[in-house]
Chains A and B, each alone.
Chain A
Amino acid sequence: MAMKALSRIRDAFEVDLPLGNLFEHPTIAGLAEVIDQLAWVANANPPASDAAEREEFAL
């Protein structure tokens, strides 16, 4: 059952969610947060514009 749920989550959200995360975050809200974070990491790519034309800030 857990493996089937995991498979459907992977297909629906296109994230590589490990089985352990289902146990570590057993609520819908917790799992949604993990999916958001994994999706953020998975979609990381370098900036589109040239480094010379960019500004850097620290907050």
Chain B
Amino acid sequence: MIVSAFLQELRSRDIRVWADGDQLRCTAPAGGLTPELRDQLRERKTDIVQFLRSAQTLALQQRAIVPLQPQGTRAPIFGVPGHNGDVFCYRFLAQQLGDDQPFFGLQPPGVDGQREPLTSIEDLAAYFAAQILAYRPDTPYVITGYCAGGTIAFELARQLLEQGATIHFVALFTSPYPTVYRPGSQLRQRVADKVERVNAHARALLSRSNGERREYIAQRLRDWKARRNAPPAAPDPVEALRAKVQAATIVGLRRYAPRHFDGRLSLFLPNKGWLHTGSPMLRWRRVARETEQYVGPDSCHGDLMLLEPHVPVIADLFRGGRDAAERQLLPSPL
């Protein structure tokens, strides 16, 4: 009989066991612990104590922390995912950074369907900070944020710094300043997207002959009708949970006002098109003591930044920034 089944058998007889250091203790109704059961407990003591200790450790584990690449000796990276809470957005970057770079994703409450999502950036950051400090109390950290998760990463780094933690590097990947998520900005963005689509169609029509234009319009109409008549996709419970987390995070982003961060922020922009004045990714410069920019290749767009084929380039930029930041933090030679 395996340990769990044996313990279940004891429980059904109202016999309770627990580990107390190396000792196995138990309490039973008077006369309930028969000599046979006592012999079995003695024989299996080591396995039972180990089972109970592991169970206790699991009960207290930091459930937000997902070890994407747990090996290595460098300061661990804790990565906040985008607003849907999908930590796998970092899987290729974790692979690219190699075996000596521990990389942990931070999963917000709600993605697992066991808890309600949080609607405050400060609360999300505090939840992650507590989990990180419990999981790795004594180490310097690297904090990253992807897309909307950049705002949570910013607040997380700020809170960790306030609590006396050492942070080697804070990297925000394609992360706009949170005012972008306010309704006015969202509306402006939607209008800009529509205008860009109209312009793209106009350019396409202008570059074609009359006959080709008719075919182009007919094809767009066929595509539109196909989309409209397509049967609705079967509901996906995982996507439904992510959508709920996404909605809660957007509520938090709209309310959040970043406070001063007394450290350096490293901003990773998809391409140099984002370097213009007024770029929502550069507005972080207002609230950090120091910032620096890293820019991806021209063909890289925000959604693709941490995916192939761009992720090797982004990983190289990240390594360069991380290593330079770590060298600066080393004590200077006498």
Contacts and interface: CB of A to CB of B under 8 A. Distances in A.
Please determine whether chains A and B interact with each other in the same assembly.
Answer: yes
A20 B14 contact: no
A57 B38 contact: yes
In the complex, which of the residues A21, A33, A54, A56 has the most CB atoms of chain B within 10 Å of its own CB atom? A54
A41 interface: yes
A47 B298 CA distance: 66
In the complex, which of the residues A2, A19, A48 has the most CB atoms of chain B within 10 Å of its own CB atom? A19
A58 interface: yes
A24 B62 CA distance: 13
Interface residues of A, number: 32
Contacts of A20: 61-63, 65-67, 107
Contact of B112 (A19, A49, A59): A19
A53 B16 CA distance: 14
Interface in B247-296: none
A19 B20 CA distance: 29
A51 B41 CA distance: 21
Interface of B is mostly: mixed
A9 B114 CA distance: 13
A37 B20 CA distance: 17
Interface in B18-74: 20, 23-33, 38, 41-42, 45, 51, 54-56, 58-59, 61-63, 65-68, 70
Interface residues of B, number: 47
A55 B38 CA distance: 13
Interface string A5-40: 011001000001011110110000000011011111
Nearest to A38: B58
Interface of B: 2-4, 7-8, 11, 14, 16, 20, 23-33, 38, 41-42, 45, 51, 54-56, 58-59, 61-63, 65-68, 70, 87-88, 107, 111-114, 237-238
Given A40-B4, A53-B29, 13 more contacts: A2-B88, A21-B58, A23-B67, A23-B70, A24-B70, A36-B3, A38-B59, A41-B59, A54-B28, A57-B26, A57-B33, A59-B41, A59-B45
Interface of A: 2-4, 6-7, 10, 16, 18-21, 23-24, 33-34, 36-41, 43, 47-49, 53-59
